């Protein structure tokens, strides 16, 4: 980047300039060849991904504002790692993760029938319902019914089995390796610094959609990793999204991102009406200055949102009310259930509404996203069926689909290919 270009950047943006790539650089680094679909089609690859990706990478499993008080906890089922996790805020206020497995005989300490508990629960202690062993919220085994009947029982060694857990900007991540190769900070690296400092914690009103899709998890991930599809598949739900520009390409280790600029939601009349409600004052209006300086580094006014992909399965779309009225950000996550089934979840995060009009506006944006996400998810099972048919051997990717190319390459490298 020349001096003139650097001078035009928002304050602080230059510190992140090394992550940015031109499309020519992207092509040079990642190539332009078709990407084979074997990794999607082959069940044997999925078995490798379980061990070499999902038991090795840091995985986002919660937000710390979901469990704000001492004793708050939630359960996260992880079929991809064949375990269930308890995410708990202990009495010392620290958030920890444990295998949701009783050290007596392996029963779930907190039983679940769903893939995860919605919202939270609260307890002073965690008690296994099978025989009543009781654990502290920070893990140690506290009491055992009829303890004398065990002869000798070293309770100090029988606490809940802890999993490496850390937070970044309020997102709770776990790493299932016995000894993670990197700390979370190291794992996120430049990406953590680039996307840090955004007021994620202000957007505590969350609306979640989810469904189980009969497709490989990468089909779902890839469908949400590009904007090339927007003018066609979303022609009905997002008619204002024409002429978008996909640029500011970024690569940072296993993670990648780019920015959507261009035509805005204001083209949709009903959305503009609600945008007027939410943009009526400074606090709830667009706050482009809150977007970290490395994002939209030149301060373009047609900034729509940024779509970072935190490897392997977590997308955060930063909007800060720009383009998306009142929206702070939204996330997608893709949890493999087996080779051909995926739990997808999309969550919209807003600043809390202060009156009925703002609430209505949020619900309108929610409905808009529901419709768009139905269109997105409606492609995935067909794509997977098509790939499994063997009719195509590779994906032919254009520039706007570079994050697919990057994710496929990163997966190959995790699998040792
Ligand atoms: Fe939990 Fe027996 S399995 S108390």
Domains along the chain with CATH numbers: 3-36+197-414 (3.90.380.10), 59-181 (2.102.10.10)
Predicted local confidence at residue 67, as pLDDT: 92
- Across residues 372-400, what is the average pLDDT? 95
pLDDT band at 116 (very low <50, low <70, confident <90, very high): low
Q: Which long-range contacts (C-beta less than 8 Å, at least 24 apart) are formed by 90-94?
A: 90/136, 90/137, 90/138, 90/139, 91/136, 91/137, 91/138, 92/138, 94/138
* Residue among 100, 131, 160 whose CB has most ligand 1 atoms within 8 A, to mutate: 131
For 155-173, write each residue's pLDDT tens digit: 999 999 999 999 999 999 9
* The model's pTM: 0.91
Burial class (CB in 10 A: 0-12, 13-18, 19+), 151: exposed
The reply to whether ligand 1 has any atom less than 6 angstroms from the CB of 379 is: no
Q: CB of 133 closer than 6 A to ligand 1?
A: yes
Selected residue with higher pLDDT from 268 and 196: 196
- pLDDT band, residue 267 (cuts 50/70/90): very low
Q: Which atom of ligand 1 is nearest to the CA of 105?
A: 3
Kindly give the number of the ligand 1 atom that is closest to the alpha carbon of 107.
3
Q: pLDDT tens, 288-338?
A: 677 888 888 888 877 878 889 999 999 998 886 655 555 678 999 999 999
Q: Which residues pair with 56 in a beta bridge?
A: none
Q: Tell me if 130 CB under 6 Å of ligand 1.
A: yes
Residue 105 and residue 169: Cα distance in Å, rounded? 36
Q: Is the CB of 112 under 6 A from ligand 1?
A: no
Q: Rounded to 5 degrees, what angle do the CA atoms 192, 16, 252 make?
A: 55
**Other C-beta atoms lying within 10 Å of the C-beta of residue 146:** 8
Q: What confidence score (pLDDT) does residue 255 get?
A: 97
Q: For 79-96, what is each residue's pLDDT tens digit?
A: 999 999 999 999 999 999
Predicted local confidence at residue 140, as pLDDT = 97
pLDDT at 33: 97
Share of the chain above pLDDT 90, in %: 61
Q: Place 98 in a pLDDT band, splitting at 50, 70 and 90.
A: very high
pLDDT of residue 272 exceeding 50: no
Residue-level pLDDT at 50: 97
Burial class of 370 by CB neighbour count within 10 A (0 to 12, 13 to 18, 19+)? middle
For ligand 1, atom 4: residue with the closest CA? 131
């Amino acid at each position: 980047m020349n001096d003139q270009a650097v001078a035009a950047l928002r304050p602080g943006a230059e510190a992140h300039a090394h992550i940015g790539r031109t499309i020519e650089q992207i092509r040079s680094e990642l190539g332009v060849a078709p990407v084979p679909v074997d990794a999607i089609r082959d069940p044997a690859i999925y078995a490798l991904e379980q061990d070499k990706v999902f038991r090795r990478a840091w995985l986002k499993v919660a937000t710390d504002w979901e469990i704000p008080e001492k004793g708050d906890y939630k359960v996260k089922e992880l079929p991809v790692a064949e375990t269930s996790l308890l995410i708990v805020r202990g009495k010392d206020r620290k958030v920890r993760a444990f295998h949701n497995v009783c050290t007596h005989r392996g029963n779930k300490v907190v039983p679940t029938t769903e893939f995860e508990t919605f919202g939270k629960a609260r307890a002073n202690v965690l008690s296994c319902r099978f025989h009543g062993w009781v654990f502290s919220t920070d893990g140690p085994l506290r009491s055992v019914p009829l303890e004398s009947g065990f002869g000798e029982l070293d309770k100090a060694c029988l606490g809940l089995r802890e999993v490496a857990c850390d937070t970044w900007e309020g997102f709770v991540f776990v790493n299932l390796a016995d000894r993670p190769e990197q700390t979370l900070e190291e794992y996120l690296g430049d990406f953590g610094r680039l996307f840090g400092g955004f007021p994620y914690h202000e957007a505590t009103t969350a609306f979640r959609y989810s469904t189980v899709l009969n497709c490989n998890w990468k089909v779902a991930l890839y469908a949400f990793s590009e904007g090339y599809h927007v003018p066609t598949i979303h022609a009905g739900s997002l008619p204002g999204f024409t002429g978008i520009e996909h640029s500011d390409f970024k690569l940072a280790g296993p993670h990648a991102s780019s920015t959507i600029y261009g035509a805005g939601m204001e083209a949709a009349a009903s959305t503009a009406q609600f945008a007027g409600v939410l943009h009526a004052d400074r606090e709830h209006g667009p706050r482009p200055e809150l977007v970290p300086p490395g994002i939209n580094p030149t301060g373009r006014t047609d900034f729509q949102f940024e779509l970072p992909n935190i490897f392997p399965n977590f997308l955060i779309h930063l909007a800060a009310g720009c383009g998306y009225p009142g929206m702070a950000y939204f996330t997608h996550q893709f949890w493999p259930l087996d080779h051909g089934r995926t739990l997808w979840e999309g969550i919209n995060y807003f600043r809390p509404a202060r009156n009925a009009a703002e609430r209505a506006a949020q619900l309108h944006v929610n409905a808009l996203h529901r419709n768009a996400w139905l269109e997105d998810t409606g492609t995935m099972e067909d794509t997977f069926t098509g790939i499994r048919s063997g009719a195509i051997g590779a994906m032919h990717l254009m520039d706007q689909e570079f994050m697919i190319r990057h994710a496929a390459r990163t997966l190959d490298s995790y699998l040792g290919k």
